[in-house]
Amino acid sequence: MNLKATSVGDLAAKVLAKGRAGEFTRVFRKSAYVRSEADFVLLLWGWLRSPMTVNVSGGFEKLQARPGDRCALSRGAVEVGSATIEVRKARIFRSTLTRRATVRLPPSSSLLKGVSLLKSLYDASPHGPTLVHDSELRSFVRRALVPLAIGETGPIYSPISYARLIGRGGGFTPAGDDFVGGFLSAYNYWARCTGSKEVRIPTELLAGTIPESAYLMARAAEGQVDEVLGSLVSKSLDGSRDFLDEILTLGPRGHTSGIDMSLGVLLCEAALSQKGGDVRALDLCTDALWRR
Cβ atoms 164, 139 nearer than 8 A:
yes
Q: Cα dihedral sign for 147, 151, 152, 154?
A: positive
* Helix, coil or strand: residue 122: helix
CA atoms lying within 13 Å on the CB side of residue 33? 15
Quote the pLDDT of residue 62.
67
Mean pLDDT calculated for residue range 127-150: 94
**Model confidence at 129: pLDDT above 90:** no
Q: Which residue has the higher pLDDT, 29 or 111?
A: 111
Cβ atoms 166, 176 nearer than 8 A:
yes
Spatial distance between the Cα atoms of 258 and 262, rounded to a whole number of angstroms: 6
Residue range 36-69, pLDDT digits in tens: 999 999 999 999 999 999 999 987 776 788 999 9
Residue range 21-32, pLDDT digits in tens: 999 999 998 999
Mean pLDDT calculated for residue range 276-284: 93
Residue range 223-272, pLDDT digits in tens: 999 999 999 999 999 977 889 999 999 999 999 999 999 999 999 999 99
Mean pLDDT calculated for residue range 101-123: 95
Domain coordinates in residue numbering, the chain: 2-94, 97-289
Residue range 168-202, pLDDT digits in tens: 998 899 999 999 999 999 999 999 999 999 999 99
**Model confidence at 292: pLDDT above 60:** no
Q: Average pLDDT of the chain?
A: 94
Say what the pTM is.
0.96
Quote the pLDDT of residue 33.
97
